[in-house]
């Protein structure tokens, strides 16, 4: 890749108790980049949801798998952050599982919806080494909550 190195790269074990430390790091990084409290809270939630999904659906709660994150300041003039979140799980098709309709009241089915809603760019890729890469971008001056429309409403179909 010809893009500059990420400012911060993290490899974290797939354990829920470690999520808080990653959130704290991202929150502080976003603050230094110039995100207001609301926007950085949204970014942190989106990334937390992605890690939560990997732990639950990707790794089925196995505590010794790995999640990789890279944090990058977006090049000016666009102020913002790109976060890439990678796993080594069996791939799933995010088009197939675009979250539930928000009009149903039931537990769950909210994660993918939140990730799309809270970010300016949100793209799933298959890694050539196996597993998935979720690329998220969030801009400092994102006035609305996210651009990406909720896709088709077919919850709970994918891997594991």
Partner 1 sequence: MTSVDAMTIVEEPRGDALVLRPIGDVDLSRSPHMRERLTKAIASPAKRLIVDLSKVPYMDSSGVATLVEALQHCRKAGKKLVLAALQPKVRSIFEIAKLTQVFDVVDKVDGAGA
Ligand X SMILES: Nc1ncnc2c1ncn2[C@@H]1O[C@H](COP(=O)(O)OP(=O)(O)O)[C@@H](O)[C@H]1O
**Residue in 11, 20, 78, 130 binding partner 1, rule: CB under 8 A:** 20
Structural element, H or E, at residue 49: helix 37-53
Identify residues 94-133 at the interface with its own copies (CB under 8 A): none
**Residue in 102, 125, 141, 147 binding partner 1, rule: CB under 8 A:** 102
Does 140 sit near its own copies (CB under 8 A)?
no
Using alpha carbons only, what angle is made at residue 99 by residues 129 and 91, rounded to the nearest 5 degrees? 15
User: Least distance (Å) from ligand X to the CB of residue 116?
Assistant: 9
Q: In this complex, which beta carbon is closest to partner 1, that of residue 76 or of residue 128? A: 76
Does 70 sit near ligand X (CB under 6 A)?
no
Identify residues 50-79 at the interface with partner 1 (CB under 8 A): 52, 55-56, 61, 63, 73
Please give the torsion angle defined by the CA atoms of residues 113, 116, 29 and 15, in that order, rounded to the nearest 10 degrees. Answer: 40
Mask for 14-33, x = binds its own copies (CB under 8 A)? -x-xx-xxxxxxxxxx-xx-
Please give the torsion angle defined by the CA atoms of residues 79, 5, 44 and 27, in that order, rounded to the nearest 10 degrees. Answer: -80
Measured CA distances, 7 to 70, 120, 153 (Å): 8, 20, 36
Nearest to 141 by CA among 6, 51, 40: 40
Site residues, ligand X (CB under 6 A): 53-54, 57-58, 89, 92, 97, 99, 108-113, 155-156, 158-159
């Amino acid at each position: 890749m010809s893009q500059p190195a990420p400012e911060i790269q993290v490899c974290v074990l797939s354990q829920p108790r470690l999520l808080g430390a990653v959130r704290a790091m991202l929150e502080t990084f976003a603050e230094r980049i110039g995100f207001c409290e609301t926007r950085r809270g949204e970014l942190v939630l989106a990334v937390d949801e992605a890690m939560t999904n990997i732990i639950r659906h990707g790794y089925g709660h196995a505590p010794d798998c790995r999640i990789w994150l890279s944090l990058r300041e977006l090049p000016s003039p666009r102020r913002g952050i790109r976060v890439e979140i990678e796993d080594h799980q069996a791939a799933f098709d995010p088009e197939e599982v675009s979250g539930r309709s928000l009009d149903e009241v039931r537990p769950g089915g909210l994660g993918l919806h939140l990730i799309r809603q809270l970010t300016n760019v949100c793209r799933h890729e298959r890694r050539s080494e196996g597993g998935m890469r979720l690329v998220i971008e969030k801009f400092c001056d994102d006035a609305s909550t996210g651009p990406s429309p909720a896709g088709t409403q077919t919850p709970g179909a994918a891997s594991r």
